[in-house]
């Protein structure tokens, strides 16, 4: 057979000038294509943060294509592939978009000073520095290296850390590392209650 098959081995439209592989006129399509308003959506697999069924969800965002553009969440759907929820969501999960985009969110670090009746804004660096200073001072004051029997205990009992229910494993592990290395004994989590 004499047909130069390989020469046709381009896909239908790529590189074609004016005609498609079968010979359809591409001009009208090209004209139409330049007038289309196309958006680029990213779909992110996430997990519902509420109960322990851990329903899979897919979060749709637009605007990730361009740099310096904050993506916007436009839709949250159940993950159709998820073996447990199979695309369904409960009334809490179904309204997750309202949790992701919520005007009650805290947006700035704040501090309430002793005796004060209001919040003040505080720069991040200052907040971190103040917290670290207080933390160190407290540890240096209360750290116990040996108990009354002379046994090494290396513990710090005057500081507590309370972890939440939606903290990830990895974050919790950072907590364990940082807190246990400082000797914190009062380490608790929503898991207890």
- DSSP label at 19? B
In angstroms, rounded to a whole number, what is the distance separating the alpha carbons of residues 96 and 123?
Answer: 30
CB-CB contact of 124 with 154 (8 Å): no
74 binds other proteins (CB under 8 A): no
18 binds other proteins (CB under 8 A): no
157 binds other proteins (CB under 8 A): yes
The interface with other proteins within residues 79-98 (CB under 8 A) comprises: 79-96, 98
51 binds other proteins (CB under 8 A): yes
Tokens of 115: 């005796």
58 binds other proteins (CB under 8 A): yes
CB-CB contact of 63 with 38 (8 Å): no
68 binds other proteins (CB under 8 A): no
69 binds other proteins (CB under 8 A): no
| 123, containing H or E segment | none
Backbone angles phi, psi at 186, to 5 degrees: -85, 75
**Position among 31, 66, 67, 68 found at the interface with other proteins (CB under 8 A):** 31
CB-CB contact of 87 with 78 (8 Å): yes
Q: What is the closest distance, in whole angstroms, from the C-beta atom of residue 4 to other proteins in the complex?
A: 9
72 binds other proteins (CB under 8 A): yes
- Alpha carbon of 69 to those of 63, 98, 101, 105, 162: distances in Å? 6, 21, 16, 20, 35
The interface with other proteins within residues 106-145 (CB under 8 A) comprises: 106-117, 119, 122, 124, 127-136, 138-140, 142-143, 145
Q: What is the closest distance, in whole angstroms, from the C-beta atom of residue 100 to other proteins in the complex?
A: 5
- DSSP label at 135? H
Q: What is the closest distance, in whole angstroms, from the C-beta atom of residue 67 to other proteins in the complex?
A: 12
């Amino acid at each position: 057979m004499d047909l130069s098959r390989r020469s046709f081995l381009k896909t239908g439209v790529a590189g074609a000038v004016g005609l498609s592989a079968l010979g359809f006129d591409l001009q009208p399509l090209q004209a139409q294509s330049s007038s289309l308003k196309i958006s680029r959506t990213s779909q992110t697999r996430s997990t519902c943060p509420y109960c322990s069924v851990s329903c899979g969800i897919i979060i749709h965002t637009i605007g990730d294509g361009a740099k310096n553009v904050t993506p916007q969440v436009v839709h949250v759907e159940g993950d159709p592939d998820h073996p447990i929820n199979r695309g369904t969501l409960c009334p809490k999960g179904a309204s997750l978009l309202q949790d992701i985009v919520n005007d009650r969110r805290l947006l700035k670090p704040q501090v309430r000073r002793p005796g004060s009746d209001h919040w003040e804004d505080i720069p991040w660096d200052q907040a971190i520095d103040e917290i670290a200073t207080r933390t160190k001072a407290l540890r240096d004051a209360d750290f116990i290296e040996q108990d009354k029997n002379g046994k090494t205990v290396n513990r710090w009992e005057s500081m507590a850390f309370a972890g939440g229910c939606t903290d990830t494993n990895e974050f919790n592990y950072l907590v364990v590392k940082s807190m246990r290395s400082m000797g914190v004994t009062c380490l608790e989590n929503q898991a207890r209650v």
